[in-house]
Amino acid sequence: MIVVSDTSPSSPCRRKQTLLGDLYVEIVIPPAVAQELERNGLQTIPLWARVVAEHDQGEVECLREQLDPGEAEAIVIAGEL
């Protein structure tokens, strides 16, 4: 199973990180989510997270009219994977 996450479930809260790491071998996060996590105090991306960039930038831009960058990228990446 492929799991794609936006920022909320991946936030720097240690409890959330431990839970996600226990539940899934790997979680895909978009670059915007990785950047937001770093801005919010996560100094390194957890070992269970893999940063994957979307291919369809046009679709991301369309979704960004209604969503935050991380959410838009996560939706597009989930569809691409």
Of residues 81, 70, 73, 36, the one with CA closest to residue 53: 73
Give the span between the Cα atoms of 27 and 40, in whole angstroms.
Answer: 19
Quote the pLDDT of residue 65: 95
DSSP the chain: ---B--HHHHSS-HHHHHHHHHH-S-EEE-HHHHHHHHHTT--S--TTEEE---S-HHHHHHHTTTS-HHHHHHHHHHHH-
Residue with tokens 């809260």: 13
Q: Note down pLDDT in tens along the chain; length 81 residues.
A: 778 887 765 555 555 566 777 788 788 999 998 888 888 776 677 777 899 999 999 999 999 999 999 999 999 999 999
Task: Tell if the pTM clears 0.85, that is, is over it.
Answer: no
Quote the pLDDT of residue 8: 66
Quote the pLDDT of residue 37: 82
